[in-house]
Amino acid sequence: MRSPIFKFLNLKEFCILFKAPNLCTLYHITEFLKRSPKVEKVLIDIKKFTFEPGTLWIIHQKSYMESSNYEFNSIKEVTIDGYKNHCHELDIVEFFCGHAKSLKKLKLIMPKNVKKRARGLDYARLDYIRSRFPGVKVEV
């Protein structure tokens, strides 16, 4: 038997807090949001977490997400707290800008700890995302 599929029809705000170790990826977040059609605000807290794409993400989930037609019509604001400019985090930014049709604001909050900020911002990719989706205000 399959496990029951839950739907959260009245959920307006979604907040997820990550702590290492964890195997959660963008795929898991979007699968949950797909079952929550009225979510307007999304907060992803990754202060104590780093998305490290594993084999499952690289082989199965990423290709599935690229071939699937995700569309979120109610998400207006996304905040990523603890943004460290890693490649997978930029994938999340680009995903929400492209698939959240009502998105007006995407806020990236960098960690206060200087060591974690040592990587610097990838301004080229952020500028590319901003140029591709001019209706979304991406704040750092």
- Residue 59, domain extent: 13-139
- Within a domain: residue 107? yes
Q: Quick one: what percent of the chain has pLDDT higher than 70? A: 79
In angstroms, the CA 113 to CA 118 distance is 9
Average pLDDT, the chain: 81
Structural domains in the chain (count): 1
pLDDT, tens only, 54-89: 655 565 666 667 667 788 999 999 999 988 887 788
Residue 3 lies in a domain: no
Amino acid letter, 72: F
The tokens of 90 are what?
Answer: 């930029």
Q: Does residue 8 fall inside a structural domain?
A: no
Confidence of residue 1 (pLDDT cuts 50, 70, 90): very low
- How many angstroms separate the CA atoms of 75 and 38, rounded? 8
In a domain, 4, yes or no: no
Let me know if residue 6 belongs to a domain.
no
Q: List pLDDT tens digits, range 7-62.
A: 888 999 999 988 777 777 788 888 889 889 999 999 999 887 776 666 555 656 66
3 DSSP assignment = P
Residue 69 forms part of a structural domain: yes
Write down the pLDDT at residue 127. 87
